[in-house]
Chain A
């Protein structure tokens, strides 16, 4: 596979703050790559370095086989869709799309033709004469993408472009973006703090924290095989249980919390005997039952009491309190409607397969913080 983007030891510091820390990664041609991280993790700095607005302190960025060192943003084979889209309000939609072509010296008739054709492809045929403020949020989004794609860039950078949209439109644009990327085959580099966007859209995701990638892999990798406690906590919902590794047998660690609850989870990384650990159990991994007999055989069983029912259609869940320690534990409700009459205060039982839960050596300072 050929790489469209290759970052090699890219670093950037602002004063004493390291924004991007010796980052190396490769993005394959035609793929959808997302950088997922909380705000302040350095993802915007990284994107702006790829676009050329910030010069890295160290390392090299190679785009389409050419080093970008000392290449100005207007000379890079890269275009960017800005967070607030940055459409030019003083121009018509057609002129916005034709802007880059005009800068390349394409003749007027030709650039009108190409801009019209591009607007047609993104489903905005005939909108060329409209003013930018006549377009809806979703349409503007498409204009911004058309404006970049008409230049046939090697890379299209997207800086949280869905952040400004309302929820319903955001869900819709997510699908549309994925389809557009598939139709054009352009390499997309997308940054977001929304894990659902990253999971739905991407072929590969880099989870970024403190200027480094915690893990780089497919969405399935991140979800099912997180390699660090940060990834386990950041990607998807998770019950987090902090304790000590009381025993370890066949790769399964027995975690004992300070208040005396014992759970079992698959160990990841080197776990020292009696070392501090963080365990993670996804809400959909656990089974729920009104009696202990309903639970799958062979799994350690726990008792609890319903604290609240969180109804959200297909994403409904129940929040429990473990009987002895009163720790909160979240379990996804099955779609069968079996537990639709669950009431707060009701005693229940739950269990989960230790192989599908995971535990890591605790991060420094992580002890005692449950979540």
Chain B
């Protein structure tokens, strides 16, 4: 073996070793379970240990209106939650990236980050302590004379949205900050100088510049929200009707793995469809968005 061939061989070996953990992770934890779930979802149990290939699981989804309803509701709530997160995160990111300078900016960013040192469960329980009928906020409202009796603030759609937005805020703020930081202030001044008002600057300069960051943030937040289980369940209770709950029920309560697997794939299909539709709508390409954030 020549020196060159040997060097090339070592090069390949080190590349393979470097890629090995990622490939292992991808194969063992992503591809393998999905193949298994796919086979599960396309079979039907006809007797003990007897299965036939069928589309029955998917048929059930379309014929049973409850599943349908929960599916559409989850999608809509996730879209609304993502949009609200964007609206709330944008000013925060703007202040951190453009207005607060140096230490103040870092401090504000740390303030955004600190809640995430606590687990999601604990944070959600915090909301429950604040919002439940015997909680802090209803008691305060009574004390201030706004309501006569304590109001139950949990188990509403609005409560679920609050929880979801709170949970996903950081994942919107980070890509927005990096998108806005790269915006040259001179561009804003130039637009202003050429006669643009605040809204026109936002519409013609800031948003087009930040579009990849906005899209990236929306994709991340939308996926996290759609696949969230804990927050809708705890804050929405029985009323939450989140699709991940249906999957959980099928797998754990009903022990109907075939149905659960089918639901899982439907959710994957839903998120893929909506993300692709969102990218088309924003005129962005996925590769571009991921590269620029």
Complex interface: chain B residues within 8 A of A86 (CB): 184, 186-187, 189-190
Report the separation of the CA atoms of residues A74 and B209 in the bound assembly, to the nearest whole angstrom.
21
In the bound complex, do residue A90 and residue B208 qualify as a contact, i.e. CB atoms below 8 Å apart?
yes
Asked, given contacts A86-B184, A86-B187, A88-B187, whether A80 binds B208 with beta carbons under 8 Å apart, the answer is no
Encoded as 1 (CB less than 8 Å from any A CB) or 0, chain B from 182 to 199 comes to 001011011111111100
In the bound complex, do residue B195 and residue A74 qualify as a contact, i.e. CB atoms below 8 Å apart?
yes
Complex interface: chain A residues within 8 A of B194 (CB): 74, 79, 99-100, 103, 147-148, 151
For the complex, is A59 an interface residue (Cβ under 8 Å from B)? no
Asked, given contacts A82-B186, A86-B187, whether A73 binds B209 with beta carbons under 8 Å apart, the answer is no
For the complex, is A104 an interface residue (Cβ under 8 Å from B)? yes
Complex interface: chain A residues within 8 A of B196 (CB): 74, 99, 103
- For window 186-219 of B, CB contacts with A under 8 Å fall at 186-187, 189-197, 200, 204-205, 208-209
- Name the CB-closest residue of B to A90: B208
- Name the CB-closest residue of A to B185: A86
Complex interface: chain A residues within 8 A of B193 (CB): 51-52, 73-74, 78-80
- For window 71-130 of A, CB contacts with B under 8 Å fall at 72-75, 78-80, 82-84, 86-88, 90-91, 99-100, 103-104
Complex interface: chain A residues within 8 A of B184 (CB): 84, 86
For the complex, is A53 an interface residue (Cβ under 8 Å from B)? yes
Report the separation of the CA atoms of residues A80 and B192 in the bound assembly, to the nearest whole angstrom.
10
In the bound complex, do residue A100 and residue B189 qualify as a contact, i.e. CB atoms below 8 Å apart?
no
In the bound complex, do residue A74 and residue B189 qualify as a contact, i.e. CB atoms below 8 Å apart?
no
Complex interface: chain A residues within 8 A of B187 (CB): 86, 88
Contacting residue for A90 out of B189, B195, B205, CB 8 A: B205
Q: From residue B124, how far is it (CB to closest CB) to chain A in Å?
A: 40
Report the separation of the CA atoms of residues A100 and B189 in the bound assembly, to the nearest whole angstrom.
13
Complex interface: chain A residues within 8 A of B200 (CB): 103
In the bound complex, do residue B195 and residue A151 qualify as a contact, i.e. CB atoms below 8 Å apart?
yes
Complex interface: chain B residues within 8 A of A80 (CB): 189-190, 193
In the bound complex, do residue B205 and residue A88 qualify as a contact, i.e. CB atoms below 8 Å apart?
yes
In the bound complex, do residue A53 and residue B189 qualify as a contact, i.e. CB atoms below 8 Å apart?
yes
Complex interface: chain B residues within 8 A of A100 (CB): 194-195
- For window 140-194 of B, CB contacts with A under 8 Å fall at 184, 186-187, 189-194
Q: From residue B205, how far is it (CB to closest CB) to chain A in Å?
A: 6
Report the separation of the CA atoms of residues A276 and B208 in the bound assembly, to the nearest whole angstrom.
62
Report the separation of the CA atoms of residues A94 and B133 in the bound assembly, to the nearest whole angstrom.
60
Encoded as 1 (CB less than 8 Å from any B CB) or 0, chain A from 148 to 181 comes to 1001000000000000000000000000000000
What is B's interface to A at a CB cutoff of 8 Å?
Answer: 184, 186-187, 189-197, 200, 204-205, 208-209
Q: List 26 A-B contacts (CB under 8 A).
A: A73-B189, A73-B192, A73-B193, A74-B194, A74-B195, A78-B193, A79-B193, A80-B189, A83-B186, A84-B184, A84-B186, A86-B184, A86-B186, A86-B187, A86-B189, A86-B190, A88-B191, A90-B208, A91-B204, A99-B194, A100-B194, A100-B195, A103-B197, A147-B194, A148-B194, A151-B195
What is A's interface to B at a CB cutoff of 8 Å?
Answer: 51-53, 72-75, 78-80, 82-84, 86-88, 90-91, 99-100, 103-104, 147-148, 151
